[in-house]
Each structure stands twice: as structure tokens, then as C-alpha cells.
Amino acid sequence: MKILNFGSCNIDCVYSVENIVRPGETVPAFGLEHFAGGKGLNQSIALARAGAQVFHAGCIGSDGQMLRKLLQDSGVNLKYLKTVDRNTGQAVIQVDSHGENSILLYGGANFAVTRDYIDEVLADFSAGDFLLIQNEISQLPYLIEKAYAAGMRVIFNPSPFQQSLGDIDLNKISYLILNEIEAAGFSGLSAPEEFVIWSRLNYPNLRVILTLGKNGSIYFDGNARIEQSAFCVKAVDTTAAGDTFTGYFAAGITGGKSVERSLCLASCAAAIAVSKKGAAPSVPSINEVEKRLETMLPYECSGTEQKKRTVKAYFENHLSDASLGGLAAQLGYCPSYTGRWLKNNIGASFSELLLSARCRMLAAELEDTELCVSELIARTGYNNESFIRKAFYREYGCTPLEYRKRKQGEKYDK
Ligand code: RIB
């Protein structure tokens, strides 16, 4: 089994700015550096640094020899890399004081990829081999068709997203690795969970890895679903974090690692990349990733724990107007998945959680006010008084009146 990455190579001109420039604005840059980049090159380097043997195909100009050298030094096989009579692709990148970026891309030599060149390279690969692709070279639809016809397994990172990618038949893709923006581009749906449903309905055989930034990543296919938290680091430059993730994940699954382990390594490697400057130079080695994994903590604002906090806060703030749709919007899920998520992660339904939040409110008011029990029960929003009395008994093991007496007794004892 061989791995071919057919992708872009760019020279990244990175400007450090306080804030990313807006239309009509002129801002000073306080630094300019040049790095090797391009989603293709970054992902090949990530695969190689993760320990995989990868062939890189793509085009550079004669001005791109430093890219060739870096790929070579990183252990990427360059048998198919071509030098053409065009300028090497270039990215003008602004990185702001929070490590966020904005990228202006000039395709240059990346658009010199022709059908003949693709035929020539693919002739050396066969069924079962992997092809990794992004969206920064010419002739992408043709490349996918040819690889699929040859029985290659295509790993597609549709980045940067363009509407024309909607014409690609995702049935021909084995693994789709994408972020929320790209997911919305394909499906027209902005909530990640809606995309999961859309994808499963339309492409039940597709294996999807959806990256959610600080909220981690999700692998899913027609049956399985695996979640991975993001790791917590101080962001210096987010450029190539996605490429590092993709390269590491591809190295994991092509190398026979489980999806769980591949996601974990990819997530950790991407976090390390975020903590360093530049694109390709920020991609860590597998040794660094394994070492950092021992001490790195999951991002505190990520994953299930944060979502549980969101649920708690939602009920506290919406005791009178809580709705499943309202909670779903806060979690970024669709209502039906929210119901299942609550059952799986908190062990209770939406109405059970609302009921227990309202019982907590009743208990607090019994303790803090002198109002009569029936009036406080009426404030909970339930018409059926005996229903809330029973629920209260289940939660606190006593009636509301007994609860008030007990709390008053405790105060008196103090
Ligand atoms: O994903 C980051 C990359 O996008 C940069 O290296 C830049 O070249 C652009 O292709």
C-alpha cells in the first residue's frame, strides 16, 4: 500500500499585524517572514513527520527550490514533484495578535497540473493505495475520477472551499476531512449535528472527520461516532493547524492505527502547530507529539464537559421559557440530536432536567422567602400541583413544607 499526496506548494509571506486589515483600511505590519507552505506541502510534511512514507506530486516554479529542499529534508519522496515554467504558488498571510490568520492565495505553478501529468503519476499507483488531496491545484475533479477508477482510496480535505466542489461526487471519496465552514459549504447547514445527519443520509458509506476548532473533532460514518477533544495551548499562529491534523490523521489510518488513536495524535499535533509560528515549520515530529501527549490537557472550553456546563447554565437562565429548540441552538445541535445527547451524556431527558431545575428553584425560594408553598409551586410554571410536589419529593426526599421547616431549623441551630 502506497500513499500519494497530490497537492499544492506555496511560499507563505507572513505579515504580523495587530488586527487583520479591513476593506479600505491601511495598517502597519510589525514583521514579515517567509515560510514554506501550501496545504499539500504542509500535509505531506505532517505525514512524513508522523512516520509515514509519502510521495508528493505537484508543481513548483524555479523560485520554489527551498520548498523542494524542505520536503526532501523531511523525508517526503519527491519522485513526482515537477518544476514548471511559472512562479511558485504564493500565500500572503496576515497573522493577528491572537494567532488568527487571513490568507490571500496566488495559485501560480499549482495550476500547472494537467491531465497528462495526473495520468503519468497515477500510472504508478494501484487499487488499495491512498490518494490525499486538497483544493489548491488544477484538475481536481479529473484526479478524483481517475483515482477512483483505479481503485485508490481517496482522502479529501476540501480546503479552501469553493462552490464548485459541490459538483464532486462524494461517493468516490473514502475519507472526508473538513471543518465547519466546509461542511456548511457542502450541505448548506451551519450546525455541525445537522451536517452529521445530512452526510449520513446522503453518503452512508463516507467516513467523515469534522474538525471543530477548540471544540475538538468528530469522526463518524454510517454507524459509528467517535469524539476527540482539542488540546489546550496558547495560540501563536493557527496557520497549518488543519493541515497538521489532516496529515497526522491520514498517517494514522493508513498506518493501521485505530480511529481513536489517529484522532488523538492528530489533535495533539494540531495543537502543537498552533503554538508555533509558520506553516510547515510548525508541524511537529511524532516524538514531540507522543511526549507532549503525556502532559497536554484537553481544551477547557471543549467537548462534553463544556456542553454540560452550557446545559446547566441554559436551565438556570431559562426556567420559565426553556425549550428543546432553544437549548439545541445553544449547543449547536439539532433538537432531535439534543434529546439523544442529553440522555447519553447526562442520563436524563430534556423535561426531566427542566423539572429538576425547577425543583431547585422551588427549594431556593422555600429557603429564602416566606411566601406560601402553593404560591411558590405556581411560580414553577407547572399547572399540576401534585405533579411538582411528587417531583420535589423524589429530588429532596421530603415535601416542600418539610424542606422549609428543615432549612429554617438549620438556620436556627446556627
Ligand atoms: O493551510 C495553510 C496554508 O494555506 C498555508 O501554508 C498557505 O500556503 C495556504 O495554502
Same domain, residue pair 275 and 311: no
For ligand 1, atom 7: residue with the closest CA: 38
Domain-embedded: residue 282: yes
**Distance, CA 290 to ligand 1 centroid (Å)?**
25
For ligand 1, atom 9: residue with the closest CA: 38
Q: What angle do CA 83, 160, 187 make, to 5 degrees?
A: 140
**Distance, CA 197 to ligand 1 centroid (Å)?**
30
Q: What is the pLDDT of residue 301?
A: 44
Q: What mean pLDDT value characterizes the chain?
A: 93
Mean pLDDT for 387-392 is 93
Q: What is the pLDDT of residue 110?
A: 98
Domain end marker among 272, 293, 314: 293
Same domain, residue pair 220 and 287: yes
Same domain, residue pair 263 and 316: no
Same domain, residue pair 273 and 368: no
- Top-ranked range on mean pLDDT: pick from 23-37, 299-313, 369-383: 23-37
Domain-embedded: residue 298: no
Range of the domain at 368: 303-413
Q: What CATH number has the domain bearing residue 313?
A: 1.10.10.60
Domain end marker among 271, 293, 315: 293
Confidence band, pLDDT 50/70/90 cuts, at residue 412: low
Same domain, residue pair 289 and 321: no
Domain-embedded: residue 383: yes
Q: State yes or no: pLDDT of 332 exceeds 80.
A: no
Same domain, residue pair 67 and 191: yes
pLDDT above 70 as % of the chain:
98
Mean pLDDT for 334-355 is 90
Confidence band, pLDDT 50/70/90 cuts, at residue 414: low
User: Residue 10: CB within 6 Å of ligand 1?
Assistant: yes
Q: State yes or no: pLDDT of 222 exceeds 50.
A: yes
For ligand 1, atom 6: residue with the closest CA: 37
User: Residue 243: CB within 6 Å of ligand 1?
Assistant: yes
Same domain, residue pair 196 and 99: yes
SS3 state of residue 10? strand
Per DSSP, the residues of 257-291 read: --HHHHHHHHHHHHHHHHTSSSSGGGPPPHHHHHH
Same domain, residue pair 169 and 149: yes
Question: Each residue of 33-67: b (16+ CB within 10 Å) or e?
Answer: eebbbbbbbbbbbbbbbbebebbbbbbbbeebeeb
Q: What CATH number has the domain bearing residue 38?
A: 3.40.1190.20
Q: State yes or no: pLDDT of 42 exceeds 60.
A: yes
Mean pLDDT for 146-172 is 97
Mean pLDDT for 355-359 is 92
Domain-embedded: residue 394: yes
**Distance, CA 101 to ligand 1 centroid (Å)?**
10
User: Residue 298: CB within 6 Å of ligand 1?
Assistant: no
Same domain, residue pair 282 and 328: no
Same domain, residue pair 273 and 163: yes
**Distance, CA 8 to ligand 1 centroid (Å)?**
9
Same domain, residue pair 261 and 319: no
Q: State yes or no: pLDDT of 275 exceeds 70.
A: yes
Q: What is the pLDDT of residue 45?
A: 98
SS3 state of residue 71? helix
Q: Is 124 a catalytic residue?
A: no
Q: What's the number of domains the chain is made of?
A: 2
User: Residue 338: CB within 6 Å of ligand 1?
Assistant: no
Domain end marker among 293, 325, 344: 293
Written in H, E and C, the secondary structure of 93-157 is: EEECCCCCEEEEEECHHHHHCCHHHHHHHHCCCCCCCEEEECCCCCCHHHHHHHHHHCCCEEEEC
pLDDT above 90 as % of the chain:
80
Checking phi first, is residue 38 left (phi over 0); if not, alpha (psi -120 to 50) or beta? left
The single residue of 243, 321, 368, 413 carrying the catalytic annotation is 243
Where does residue 388 rank: exposed (0-12), middle (13-18), buried (19+ CB within 10 A)?
buried
